[in-house]
Amino acid sequence: MRILVTGGAGFIGSNFIHYILQTYPKYQVINLDALTYAGNLENLEMWKNDPRYRFVKGDIALPSIVDPLVAESDVIVHFAAESHVDRSISDPDVFIRTNIQGTFVLLESARKHQKRFHHVSTDEVFGALGPDDAPFNEHTSYSPRSPYSASKASSDHLVRSYFHTYDLPITISNCSNNYGPYHFPEKLIPLVITNLLEGKKVPVYGDGLQVRDWLYVEDHCRAIDQIIHRGKIGETYCIGGKSERENIWIVKKIIELLGKDETMIEYVKDRSGHDRRYAIDFSKIQTELGWEPSVTLEAGLEKTVKWFEENEAWWKNIKSGTYKEYYAKQYGK
């Protein structure tokens, strides 16, 4: 099988490529990534000389790049997206282009060549939960609250429409907050870890009582594996970590793991439209495909902290921006 992975140089995409190449020795992977701010080929350095892996630098919104790659692939697993909520608030244009227009281009090519299409989405499309509300599931109404989540909701609807209108063999997954190796350092968990390793204070939005359901990235990759091989065409699957925690709990746990103290916490003004709680009911994928998370939050945080401690050069290259200079020389701007 040949899998086209869009956004494969990003956090979840690169972990998925590692997972596929390690799990299926006969599979091939094409990684299509534009190498924007969160794309980093250092994530996949170990595969660069493996004949089963090929990297293509390109924009998913350009049919001339997308179409030939879709034509030679068996399955498209679509991770590529602008994903940082803060960035979507300050600069929403690129979110519309990548997350909506880019998905449309991929769908058109998949329709032309009748290829299996899996779309990776987020729980943020469902909006926010109150403290006593039931977790999101596959029947939860969409209620996006930021340009990011609105653009992802739009792409979900597009993908679903191609199944109903054109019989395109699609599946969709909506996952909770991922964490683990290769996580871009501006996100909460890697930001806390790297700031503490550098002796810097850790910013916490508002009162820090926002609740998220945390999913270790390798568990997410296993879930997508099950969906693309055994999932029912046209269906959506919610993927959760069974690990609801307040942001401040996460921060304090990492402080504890690194032997620091809570004076490193700096409370800052909350961001606009900050959703209070997300949680996922993953009973459908558990019942139908036998998947459930295998890594507890405590164990996953320990593994993640250890990975960042052992890969200092990786995250320091990102924080300094030196990896961008390398790509500019190799691939152009």
User: Taking Cα atoms as reference points, which of 80, 237, 240 lies closest to residue 151?
Assistant: 80
Q: Which of 49-58, 89-98, 102-111 has the lowest mean pLDDT?
A: 89-98
Residue 83 has what pLDDT?
A: 66
**DSSP single-letter state for residue 100:** I
Q: Catalytic: which of 82, 124, 156, 218?
A: 124
SS (H, E, C) 293-322: CCCCHHHHHHHHHHHHHHCHHHHHHHHHCH
The pLDDT value recorded for residue 219 is: 98
**Does 100 have pLDDT greater than 80?**
yes
Res 273 pLDDT > 70 = no
CATH number of the domain at 257, please.
3.40.50.720
Active-site annotation holder among 53, 148, 216, 237: 148
What pLDDT score does 323 carry?
A: 52
Average pLDDT over residues 264-269: 93
Side-chain-side CA neighbours of 127 within 13 Å: the count stands at 8
Of 83-92, 116-125, 266-275, 282-291, which range is least confident?
83-92
Q: 235: which strand partners?
A: none
CA distance 176 to 123: 5
Q: What is the pLDDT of residue 94?
A: 81
Mean pLDDT, rounded, of the chain: 93
pTM passes above 0.85 = yes
Task: Check pLDDT > 60 for residue 324.
Answer: no
Asked if residue 212 has pLDDT above 80, the reply is yes
124 among known catalytic residues: yes
Question: According to the model, what pLDDT value does residue 186 have?
Answer: 85
Inter-axis angle of helices 297-310 and 312-320, nearest 10: 80
Reported as a single tens digit per residue, the pLDDT across 138-165 is 999 999 988 899 999 999 999 999 999 9
What type of residue is 281? D
Sequence-distant (6+) residues with CB within 8 A of 193 are: 254, 258, 304, 305, 308
Q: Quick check: is 281 catalytic? A: no
Backbone dihedral angles phi then psi of residue 78, each to the nearest 5 degrees: -100, 100
- Share of residues in the chain with pLDDT > 70 (%): 94
Q: What is the DSSP string of 259-275?
A: T--GGGEEEEPPPTT--
The C-alpha R_g of the chain, in whole angstroms, comes to 19
C-alpha 278/C-alpha 298 separation (Å) is: 19
Count of domains observed in the chain: 1
Q: Is the pLDDT of residue 86 over 90?
A: no
Whether the predicted pLDDT of 248 surpasses 80 = yes
Q: Which domain holds residue 121?
A: 2-331
pLDDT at residue 218 in the model: 98
Look at residue 315 in the predicted model and tell me its pLDDT.
94
C-alpha 142/C-alpha 127 separation (Å) is 7
* Continuous segment of H or E residues that includes residue 55: strand 53-57
Per annotation, catalytic residue among 59, 82, 123, 225: 123
Q: What is the pLDDT of residue 170?
A: 98
- What is the pLDDT confidence band of residue 249, given thresholds at 50, 70 and 90? very high
